Amino acid sequence: MAIRVGVADDPEKFLDTDLVVWSDGRGPDPTDVVLRGLTPDQRFAATDDEAPAAPLYAGVYGVFPSPSASPGPGTPSGRCRSAA
């Protein structure tokens, strides 16, 4: 068995695999709408290069970038500036 993890190259297959775990099935929205916010370079899939072609990936995960807030320059540690 040769498991490979990399960027998912098939958005339909990525979504179908994801829905097996997290949903009761596919809704009417198109794939690009459902995957909005999860850019193609942040969709990862595990495949077995020695297995026959399958309708789903062996596993998938997505990374949703998240901005974080931190205190600005000149503010005491742990305190955020107020909008006063």
Q: Tell me: the pLDDT tens digits for 46-55? A: 988 787 888 8
Q: Count structural domains, the chain.
A: 1
Domain annotation covers residue 56: yes
Cα separation, 53 vs 35, in Å, equals: 23
Whether 6 and 40 have beta carbons less than 8 Å apart is answered as no
pLDDT over 80 at 67, yes or no: no
Domain annotation covers residue 41: yes
Domain annotation covers residue 80: no
Whether 22 and 59 have beta carbons less than 8 Å apart is answered as no
Domain annotation covers residue 74: no
Give phi and psi for 28, each to the nearest 5: -80, -10
Which pLDDT score, from 0 to 100, does residue 83 have?
52
pTM of the model: 0.67
Domain annotation covers residue 72: no
More confident residue, 5 or 22: 5
Mean pLDDT of 58-68: 82
Give Dmax (Cα) for the chain. Answer: 63
Q: Tell me which residue range forms the domain holding 51.
A: 3-62
Domain annotation covers residue 40: yes
